[in-house]
């Protein structure tokens, strides 16, 4: 068993980390850390638990520690920190020899930091060697993409591999949990849509190109298609829904797209990583699916569901993709990254 | 005063018609008609009034009639009928000499039927002469577009006129009222999005080309750009929100687009038609507007609000458009059509 | 294994029955029956599956049968039928020798029909003998209470046993699923409360007295306290919340009430019935719990959660009770009834 | 015209004050004040306007001032301050000679401060003389009750006058706006109910007794019936709904209760105060009204709507009352208080 800790353990993504790690096959959750406001308290007092299960028994009374490498007893730390805190703190952990599996955006686009979806670009893990050399670190930082990026890029991967990509237009309808527990006031969203999410479109438009890029031994050469996004908040608890319009390089019919999505196989499934869903992409044939309340928990929240794959009169195809934003799009993504690292690098 | 009647007076669009016509400058609401289930009853018993105002006093006790040209005393009938009923009934009214201002989709795409947005294509009214001749009718049918089409096409009009259009991609987040009072069960939409609306995308992809087409004296020559749509239902009472990506013919910057939208002037405003809003298009500069709950009632529900006009990396610009789907997108649209006809043709 | 069937298998309660019975320790789900519209179709085509899990694999292709005792191969039938259909059909099944475990209201208040909550009045099962004799049936009908009644009466049971009851005032905030999938239009409930549920208050005000009544060998002598209810619908998918004010006979403090609820033990738990939750009543100490989204699934949806137990200045105590209305309040209630019958009567 | 100012002008109640005062018959809105964060900015920059109308033109560019009696040019100040700030600041304004019409709870229960509903206890205004003498102030503080109290007590007033009151049990389902714009996170309330509102039940249980008490020339002798409340938050934007159970002193039938509510006349209506609704109490006969989305705006948000008046088996009657919590329950209440003072005391 490998000892792991969660940084930012009291927030919503932190709670999902705890849920996923409480009884993990590889990992033993040995420490929780959070802001000074929470440090020193037993976890059940520090966190307002918002999930519809109870706090795991073995976690409830753990004393929350400060976010300080010297106080944490673990090999891997999972970071659910806000971006500005992550920016400052994560390098300190990496320098101190920890593997940092981060959900924060702070280092995602750094040249020598892997931005991973284990089903999509596991080979980018090799960038760790470059990173360690560059920065003279004993540990390292690996990151997962933005939640909206993940649902899109995972669905695009088999298309990219088989038909190439030229243009991708994405309009998202994103869940409330993506903004954190207090992020969206109810007064702002009941009977409403907010057609804006700060810095989200920029992330969606750039991260995918890095993820689908090629590692040339030194750096990632980004993929060359174009992405444009329009991001919206809707009154849904969990589960991001995205309407995607795709122009491929070679041309592709809806049936061809369905086939390559259905046939899609990936490394985490072959390695039987504990958090890997049986099917990373579930293709649905109903005329009105996927829907967040019905499909977000597919594959334990780690599968994405794709539906309404149909011909597009301007590009080639259009479809709907959906996934659980705090599991596949955040905590589960980081845990899967760490599992991949453990299994392939034998740390 | 011109006598008018509402067909399909008990449903949601029917109620909006009554609200708009109860104290109208040109029109006197002389008759209400609805299905046999309602006929013969006083209106307040026949209709489950769902608006947040009371039934107008002068309407409450009117006896609902059958949908039969012989029983209706009016010059203009407003049709809020379901499409299949409209298909059968509207020609009978037109034949019997009524002007039918219809919100139904049944005849929108017929070659000799005007599909009107008074701010966009008032000259298409001349198609009435062709229609009357073709069909040997004393009356006529004029129609307004689908609610999602209207918010898009009204925003596209000044772009089309100034820069031309090549490609338009639209993802809608549509309100519940668009499906009728019982159209969307609450179990289907609370904490959810439904990424499908029956026959909606087809309407949005075709109607705009007719509306922006040219009347050549005989028929409408459709505009030649392409439209692709992905239509979604969200938990909003009234107000359709649409994320639009636009490729113009000549190229245009966000600032140029804002300017032509702001400067947009149209015939209904010049004619001071009673239902015409002061500004058909309101351009907003806040980073997170328009929003349905805050902006749907702008201009008495007859203005559309456009915001987040910004550069698009694939096409030229992307923006959000929003309007009240049962006022500007349905009953108000039909009433404005009839006002235009009255004022310009002096019926 | 005992063969069982579900009548009314396509609706929401029917789906919950299937979910609970698909892999049951005592029961083998051998037949599904529904209205003529569904009969003859494979289940996955007949039902619009609304739960956030998939249709169980072994059920998907079962052919739905007509609701006819001659066509059903089972010992026990679970009835999720609408009350008017149940009224006609359930006696036919009982006459034909089936045990009918019904969620319908049709026979709940009949003198010789047990109205059961297995944790509350398991001894009322003995009424079956009276019923069989009275009606000359080989089979029988056993029923579970209305969903709102259950959450109240289960919480009242330890109070009644220890302190007696004089007056109970209940205001409910009920979930949408209680009205069936299409029961509450979204237009009726988004940004709204409906302070009325047809025939609900009458049920809540009478059923509890029968359940807490005494079986004297011939009939149930109803309990003698008074119940008054005000029932409301709110925009919650599953989980009824109830504010309850209680006057006991002997007087009781909040601490005494908490203690008797915490110490409450019942027969289903002792018998380890498969659907019995470990704790039928969970007492919560947080100032703002129970809440439907967080607590409805406690004990697999079979526990009720009680919180905010506090002194009342008019009666003795007031508190909040909450439970899952389609599990503990419907399908799970019927299944638990049948399990009790099987285990105690050794059918 | 009397000059008035709003303290706490940027919050939700502050915005409602501005909406009500922008074109007032008696009052000229001459100053806005808010916290240091807002002071010095033009109003449209200081406030995130959340109402579905635009900021009034004459208000938009007003510079927000500090909350300091020396900086405010007005005769009356309306206070929408948080309770702790109000506690400190309001006496300074009163001392400096301002009439403070406060929506804050800080001074409501002080012995010499009138707690007013102008339709219910206008005679309590005379307490101002006692207050001025006690405190040696040139100005004074008058207050309006908590929003939940108002909807209950206004409905109880004609019952109290005609039949006396013994016991009142209230369960509220309260709107989100009552907690302020950021008070309830959407994650807390979508698909949920929160059965707790901090300090709310205490207010509801005490304020009504003071309001319905008698002024004996020196102090208010509180009314002697008992009130018990259970307060809940539901996913409604505006409009508190309350289920009320009432035991009168003399006994009363539902028909008698309806009659005295319908016949209820009060001073603000006789004086034709600008903000007084034509009917303070609207009695509805539909089986499922009042409902917040449909009835909150009745009488410009100043009428309460009462429905489902029916026999109660434990007390005498039970019914539903509903009103707009930020208009009748907050800003409108304070404005009406000030109007009453102006008209009757001729300030």
For the segment C54-94, what is each residue's pLDDT rounded down to a tens digit? 899 999 999 999 999 999 999 999 999 999 999 999 999 99
Structure tokens at A193: 């849509």
Residue A196 contacts B where some CB pair is shorter than 8 Å: yes
Q: State pLDDT tens for residues D261-306.
A: 999 999 999 999 999 999 999 999 999 999 999 999 999 999 999 9
Please tell me whether residues B57 and B134 are part of one structural domain. Answer: yes
What's the rounded Cα separation, in Å, for the pair D175 and D236?
Answer: 5
Residue B50 contacts D where some CB pair is shorter than 8 Å: yes
* Gap from B192 CA to chain A (nearest CA, Å): 5
A240 catalytic, yes or no? yes
Which DSSP state fits A330? I
Burial D262-291 (b: 16+ CB within 10 A, else e): eebebbbbebebbbbbebbbbbbeeebbbb
**Which residues, given as ranges, of chain A have pLDDT below 70?**
346
**Predicted confidence (pLDDT) at residue C346 exceeds the cutoff of 80:** no
Classify residue D28 by burial, with Cβ atoms within 10 Å: 0-12, 13-18, 19+. Answer: middle
Residue C109 contacts B where some CB pair is shorter than 8 Å: no
Q: Which chains touch D (3 or more CB pairs under 8 A)?
A: A, B, C
pLDDT, position B52: 84
Out of A140, A147, A231, A324, pick the active-site residue: A147
pLDDT, position B345: 84
**Whether A185 and D187 lie within 8 Å, measured CB to CB:** no
Q: Does the CA dihedral D132-D135-D141-D144 come out positive or negative?
A: negative
pLDDT, position C270: 97
Residue D196 contacts A where some CB pair is shorter than 8 Å: no
Please tell me whether residues D174 and D290 are part of one structural domain. Answer: yes
User: What are the two backbone dihedrals, phi and then psi, of residue A32, each rounded to the nearest 5 degrees?
Assistant: -125, 140
**Whether B294 and D191 lie within 8 Å, measured CB to CB:** no
User: DSSP states of D54-92 as a string?
Assistant: PPPHHHHTPBPBPS-GGG---SEEEE---HHHHHHHHHH
Residue B183 contacts A where some CB pair is shorter than 8 Å: no
Cβ-based contacts of C184 with chain B (< 8 Å): 185-187
* Phi-psi region at D156: left, alpha or beta (left = phi > 0; alpha = psi -120 to 50): alpha
Q: Per DSSP, what are the bridge partners of residue B169?
A: B228, B245
Please tell me whether residues B24 and B158 are part of one structural domain. Answer: no
Nearest residue, CB atoms, D191 vs list B190, B294, B297: B190
pLDDT, position D345: 84
What's the rounded Cα separation, in Å, for the pair D57 and D61?
Answer: 8
Size of the A and B interface in Cβ pairs below 8 Å: 119
What's the rounded Cα separation, in Å, for the pair B225 and C152?
Answer: 62
Provide the CATH number for the domain around residue B257: 3.30.360.10
Provide the CATH number for the domain around residue B46: 3.40.50.720
Tens of pLDDT along chain D (347 residues) come to 999 999 999 999 999 999 999 999 999 999 999 999 999 999 999 999 989 888 999 999 999 999 999 999 999 999 999 999 999 999 999 999 999 999 999 999 999 999 999 999 999 999 999 999 999 999 999 999 999 999 999 999 999 999 999 999 999 999 999 999 999 999 999 999 999 999 999 999 999 999 999 999 999 999 999 999 999 999 999 999 999 999 999 999 999 999 999 999 999 999 999 999 999 999 999 999 999 999 999 999 999 999 999 999 999 999 999 999 999 999 999 999 999 999 998 67
What's the rounded Cα separation, in Å, for the pair B185 and C180?
Answer: 10
Nearest residue, CB atoms, D236 vs list C192, C230, C292: C192
Specify the length of chain D in residues: 347
Q: For residue A318, give its domain range.
A: 147-324
Q: How far is CA B42 from CA A200, A225, B57, B58, B331, in A?
A: 54, 63, 12, 12, 22
Q: How far is CA A290 from CA A286, A333, C330, in A?
A: 8, 20, 28
pLDDT, position D145: 98
* Gap from A233 CA to chain B (nearest CA, Å): 10
What's the rounded Cα separation, in Å, for the pair D224 and D164?
Answer: 10
Picking from A283, C186, D291, the residue whose alpha carbon sits closest to that of residue B236 is: C186
Nearest residue, CB atoms, A191 vs list C51, C191, C297: C191
Residue C191 contacts A where some CB pair is shorter than 8 Å: yes
pLDDT, position D211: 98
Cβ-based contacts of C182 with chain B (< 8 Å): 182, 185, 187
Residue D85 contacts B where some CB pair is shorter than 8 Å: no
What's the rounded Cα separation, in Å, for the pair C227 and A347?
Answer: 65
- Pick the residue of C287, C289, C297, C314 with the most D CBs within 10 A to test the interface with D by mutation: C314
Within chain C, residue ranges assigned H as helices are 12-21, 43-46, 57-60, 83-95, 127-135, 147-163, 186-189, 200-211, 254-262, 267-270, 292-295, 332-345
**Predicted confidence (pLDDT) at residue C27 exceeds the cutoff of 90:** yes
Pairing of strands B226-233, B140-143: unpaired
Domain count, chain C: 2
Three-state secondary structure of chain B: CEEEEEECCCCHHHHHHHHHHCCCCCEEEEEEECCCCCCCCEHHHHCCCCCCCCCCHHHHCCECECCCHHHCCCCEEEECCCHHHHHHHHHHHHHCCCEEEECCCCCCCCCCCCECCCCCCHHHHHHHHHHHHHHCCCCEEEECCCHHHHHHHHHHHHHHHHHCEEEEEEEEEECHHHHCCCCCEHHHHCCCCECCCCCHHHHHHHHHHHHCCEECCCCEECCCCEEEEEEEECCCCCCEEEEEEEEECCCCCHHHHHHHHHCCCCHHHHCCCCCCCCCCEEECCCCCCCCHHHHCCHHHHCCEEEEEEEECCCCCEEEEEEECCCHHHHHHHHHHHHHHHHHHHCC
Cβ-based contacts of D289 with chain B (< 8 Å): none
Picking from B61, B55, B59, B1, the residue whose alpha carbon sits closest to that of residue B28 is: B1
* Gap from A327 CA to chain B (nearest CA, Å): 17
Please tell me whether residues B134 and B163 are part of one structural domain. Answer: no
Specify the length of chain C in residues: 347
Cα nearest neighbour of C290 on chain D: D195
**Whether C189 and B186 lie within 8 Å, measured CB to CB:** yes
Our separate counts of H helices and E strands in chain B read 12, 13
Out of B124, B147, B231, B324, pick the active-site residue: B147
Average pLDDT over residues B196-211: 98
Could you count the other beta carbons within 10 Å of the beta carbon of residue B256?
18
Respond yes or no on whether the N-terminal peptide bond of residue A290 is cis (omega within 30° of 0): yes
3-state secondary structure of C1: coil
Out of D124, D140, D231, D240, pick the active-site residue: D240
pLDDT, position B53: 86
pLDDT, position A245: 98
Please tell me whether residues D93 and D141 are part of one structural domain. Answer: yes
Residue D63 contacts C where some CB pair is shorter than 8 Å: no
Within chain A, residue ranges assigned H as helices are 12-21, 43-46, 57-60, 83-95, 127-135, 147-163, 186-189, 200-211, 254-262, 267-270, 292-295, 332-345
Cβ-based contacts of D295 with chain B (< 8 Å): 52
ipTM of this model?
A: 0.96
What's the rounded Cα separation, in Å, for the pair D197 and D240?
Answer: 13
Size of the A and C interface in Cβ pairs below 8 Å: 22
Picking from D102, D207, D91, the residue whose alpha carbon sits closest to that of residue D156 is: D207
- Residue B41 confidence class, pLDDT cut points 50, 70, 90: very high
Residue C304 contacts D where some CB pair is shorter than 8 Å: no
Picking from A202, A153, A210, the residue whose alpha carbon sits closest to that of residue A328 is: A153
**Whether A293 and C52 lie within 8 Å, measured CB to CB:** yes
Please tell me whether residues D49 and D154 are part of one structural domain. Answer: no
Q: Which chains touch B (3 or more CB pairs under 8 A)?
A: A, C, D
Pairing of strands B99-102, B140-143: parallel
Size of the A and D interface in Cβ pairs below 8 Å: 58
Nearest residue, CB atoms, C187 vs list B176, B187, B191: B176
Cβ-based contacts of D12 with chain A (< 8 Å): 187
Residue D191 contacts B where some CB pair is shorter than 8 Å: yes
Please tell me whether residues B299 and B151 are part of one structural domain. Answer: yes
Cα nearest neighbour of A290 on chain C: C52
Structure tokens at D2: 């009397």
Residue that is written with structure tokens 């949990």 in the block: A177
Please tell me whether residues A103 and A138 are part of one structural domain. Answer: yes
Cβ-based contacts of B236 with chain A (< 8 Å): 191-193
* Gap from A261 CA to chain C (nearest CA, Å): 20
Classify residue B133 by burial, with Cβ atoms within 10 Å: 0-12, 13-18, 19+. Answer: exposed
Structure tokens at C7: 């009548």
- Residue C168 confidence class, pLDDT cut points 50, 70, 90: very high
Picking from B237, B294, B177, D296, the residue whose alpha carbon sits closest to that of residue C235 is: B237
**Whether B171 and A230 lie within 8 Å, measured CB to CB:** yes
What's the rounded Cα separation, in Å, for the pair C208 and A111?
Answer: 68
pLDDT, position B142: 98
3-state secondary structure of A332: helix
Cα nearest neighbour of D181 on chain A: A187
Residue that is written with structure tokens 């599996």 in the block: A101
* Gap from A224 CA to chain D (nearest CA, Å): 38
Burial C147-175 (b: 16+ CB within 10 A, else e): bbbbbbbbbbbbbbebbbbbbbbbbbbbb
3-state secondary structure of A266: coil
What's the rounded Cα separation, in Å, for the pair A283 and A154?
Answer: 12
- Residue C52 confidence class, pLDDT cut points 50, 70, 90: confident
Picking from B93, B83, B74, B71, the residue whose alpha carbon sits closest to that of residue B11 is: B83
Residue B50 contacts C where some CB pair is shorter than 8 Å: yes
**Whether C12 and B187 lie within 8 Å, measured CB to CB:** yes
Q: State pLDDT tens for residues A121-166.
A: 999 999 999 999 999 999 999 999 999 999 999 999 999 999 999 9
**Predicted confidence (pLDDT) at residue B347 exceeds the cutoff of 80:** no
pLDDT, position B175: 98
Residue D287 contacts B where some CB pair is shorter than 8 Å: no
Picking from D176, D179, D182, D322, the residue whose alpha carbon sits closest to that of residue D235 is: D176
Cα nearest neighbour of B195 on chain A: A288
Out of A124, A140, A231, A240, pick the active-site residue: A240
**Predicted confidence (pLDDT) at residue C53 exceeds the cutoff of 90:** no
Please tell me whether residues C141 and C158 are part of one structural domain. Answer: no
Q: Per DSSP, what are the bridge partners of residue D100?
A: D77, D141
Please tell me whether residues D137 and D173 are part of one structural domain. Answer: no
Residue D139 contacts C where some CB pair is shorter than 8 Å: no
B124 catalytic, yes or no? no
**Whether D185 and A181 lie within 8 Å, measured CB to CB:** yes
Please tell me whether residues B155 and B78 are part of one structural domain. Answer: no
Structure tokens at D170: 């209230």
**Whether D195 and C318 lie within 8 Å, measured CB to CB:** no
Please tell me whether residues D26 and D167 are part of one structural domain. Answer: no
Structure tokens at D185: 């996170």
**Whether B176 and C184 lie within 8 Å, measured CB to CB:** no
């Amino acid at each position: 068993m490998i000892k792991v800790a969660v940084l930012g353990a009291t927030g919503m993504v932190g709670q999902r980390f705890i849920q996923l790690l409480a009884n993990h096959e590889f990992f033993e959750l040995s420490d929780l850390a959070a802001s000074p406001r929470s440090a020193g308290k037993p976890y059940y007092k520090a966190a307002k638990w918002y999930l519809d299960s109870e706090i795991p028994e073995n976690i409830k009374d753990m004393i929350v520690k400060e976010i300080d490498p010297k106080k944490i007893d673990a090999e891997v730390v999972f970071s659910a920190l806000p971006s500005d805190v992550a920016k400052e703190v994560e390098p300190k952990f990496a320098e101190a020899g920890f593997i940092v599996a981060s959900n924060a955006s702070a280092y995602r686009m750094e040249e020598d930091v892997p931005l991973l979806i284990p089903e999509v670009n596991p080979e980018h893990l090799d960038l760790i060697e470059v990173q360690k050399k560059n920065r003279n670190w004993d540990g390292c930082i690996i990151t997962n993409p933005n939640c909206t990026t993940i649902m899109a890029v995972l669905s695009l991967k088999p298309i990219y591999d088989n038909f190439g990509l030229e243009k991708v237009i994405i309009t998202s309808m994103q869940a409330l949990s993506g903004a954190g527990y207090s992020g969206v006031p109810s007064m702002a969203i009941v009977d409403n849509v907010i057609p804006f999410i700060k810095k989200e479109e920029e992330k969606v438009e750039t991260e995918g190109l890095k993820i689908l890029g090629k590692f040339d031994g030194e750096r990632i050469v980004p993929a060359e298609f174009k992405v444009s996004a329009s991001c919206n908040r809707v009154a849904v608890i969990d589960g991001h829904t995205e309407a995607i319009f795709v122009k491929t390089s070679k041309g592709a019919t809806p049936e061809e797209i369905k086939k390559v999505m259905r046939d899609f196989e990936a490394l985490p499934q072959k390695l039987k990583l504990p958090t890997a869903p049986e099917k990373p992409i579930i293709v649905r044939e109903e005329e009105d699916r996927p829907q967040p309340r019905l499909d977000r928990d597919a594959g334990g929240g780690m599968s994405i569901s794709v539906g309404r794959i149909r011909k597009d009169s301007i590009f080639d195809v259009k479809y709907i993709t959906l996934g659980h934003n705090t599991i596949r799009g955040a905590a589960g993504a980081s845990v899967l990254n760490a599992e991949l690292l453990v299994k392939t690098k034998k740390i």
